[in-house]
Amino acid sequence: MQIYGNFSVFLHIMKEEQILIRISGEDRVGLTASIMAILAKYDAQILDFGQAVIHNTLSMGILIRIDEAHSGQVMKELLFKTTELGSISIGFAPISDDDYEAWAGRQGRNRYILTIIGRSLSAAQIHAATEVISRYGLNIDAIKRLTGRMSIKHPEKNVRACVEFSLRGFLSEEQRKALQQDLMTMGTEAGMDFSFQKDDMYRRMRRLICFDMDSTLIQAECIDELARRHGVYDQVAAITESAMRGEIDFKESFTKRVALLKGLDVSVMRDIAEHLPITEGTDRLMSVLKTCGYKIAILSGGFTFFGEYLQRKYGIDYVYANELEVGEDGKLTGRYVGEVVDGRRKADLLRLIAQTEKVNIAQTIAVGDGANDLPMLNEAGLGIAFHAKPRVKANARQSISTIGLDGVLYFIGFKDSHLGEQGKL
């Protein structure tokens, strides 16, 4: 009988409860260590823990589970410690077992990442983004700034702003598609870019990135530059317009345009290659990608001559484009060699390179601006329409239109502070 009585006392002593501790105030070195020293003294179990610092102001939350017999003493010591430190506020809230279990159960829901980018971001723009996600019942778990802090005294240095939201909730495939469309509309109206991705291991482990070349890596259409030098730009442009109206397909229009280049000296191509207008942010993006071990490919409806020039410049791993035939006299024959790289071919090549590199298709990225890029944008794990035409943006899941090509880094999850020398502007 005495043993039973002692066991009852033991159970009473070991009864535990959950307490949510909220700490805010001036950030300082050693604060977390001081708090944890007290919790460790009473063998508190940490159930959840989070912290954010905004302009040297700290906000911390700690959810603990602790023996009821010690909880009062823990709260008292924590209160004394924060009073001693000064400029620190602390609060406590009990969390019932049922409330905790309900909260823990919600953690299994799908998680998503929403990234928004602009030259700058206003409260109105952030409101537009958060209003869309709240409409679909997604809860914001965390908010993180990926770009460096802006300068008030030197606003010309404020070249970009990026914020990443960690979201939790459930979306059916139909809801996800509707959300993407609403975000695309919102982004266009609000003048900012966005990426909405499922937060899974593939998002954190991208390994292969494929770029269109003309109007993506470079701010030019090489066939137009060749046509200008050869005095046939108007004829080439008329064929391009006919193709865009759907009167002829890409292969037919490509064949006709190449034929007009007959007789152009190869030296002209070399001069154009050496003066290609590189897209803003390309140097920074390529430096980071190479440093971090990404495989990089150019999949272009343009020409291999220019793709190979960029390959040498940036150490690109693969180049697939259209090869112009050159005669013994060093002039273009007006014909091309091999299979035309059109939209279908780009998607096929993306899959082929992924297989060669043993990369899951979900770990691939594709970036392009034209309608012939849509197949590879939709095939890749992350497809990004870059300064794209309206129809392309409308059919892509992610887009960048407000900043340079290095905006891709933020969609992958890089922070400016992580990029070191490679990330300097």
Name the residues annotated as catalytic: 212, 214
* Phi, psi at 151, each rounded to 5°: -100, 130
Residue 132's identity, in one-letter code, is V
Residue 225's identity, in one-letter code, is E
Best CA proximity match to 402, nearest among 159, 185, 146 = 159
Please list, in sequence order, all residues whose beta carbon lies within 8 angstroms of the beta carbon of residue 424, skipping any fewer than 6 positions away: 284
Between the CA of residue 278 and those of 149, 218, 402, what are the distances in Å?
27, 4, 17
Q: Are 405 and 267 in contact (CB under 8 A)?
A: no
Between the CA of residue 409 and those of 56, 147, 295, 370, what are the distances in Å?
27, 10, 14, 21
Best CA proximity match to 315, nearest among 288, 342, 354, 334 = 288
Q: State the burial class of residue 421 (Cβ atoms within 10 Å of its Cβ: 0-12, 13-18, 19+).
A: exposed
